Amino acid sequence: MIKLSNVSKNYGNVKALDSLSLEIKEGEIFGLLGPNGAGKTTAVKILTTLTKPDSGSCFINEIDVVQNPHKIKKLSELSLKRIILKENLLCMKICLFMECFIILQRLRRK
């Protein structure tokens, strides 16, 4: 179960999230839709501990995301729409980078 209550986040003067509240029950498939800049990525980043909210509460399976980021990291996997790699990386280095992810994934499953 995912529960956000009045979650807000500002980047300087930009209000990325303004009191977002939502509840997603176990087994539900939830689509977060909105125009560009609506705050979708910010909400997902907060849920996956990549950034912290300025205010509000955020729970996954009754675990407080802000207070227990290490527990949430074990629960969540995230694929953002763009993978950003340095343009001058050699093809071989990119392959090694990807291989590291595969090895890490295997280690996590053990």
d(CA 104, CA 56): 33
Nearer to ligand ATP, 10 or 71 (CB): 10
Single-letter amino acid, residue 66: V
Out of ligand ATP, Mg ion, none, which partner does residue 31 contact, by CB within 5 to 8 A per kind?
Answer: none
Residue 39 interacts with, from Mg ion, ligand ATP, none (CB under 5-8 Å by kind):
ligand ATP
3-state class of 22 per DSSP? strand
List binders of ligand ATP among 7-36 (CB under 6 A): 11, 14, 16, 34, 36
Strand order in the sheet with 14-24: 14-24, 2-11, 55-60, 63-64
3-state secondary structure of 5: strand
Smallest separation, CB 32 to ligand ATP (Å):
8
Site residues for ligand ATP, 31-90, by CB under 6 A, read 34, 36-42
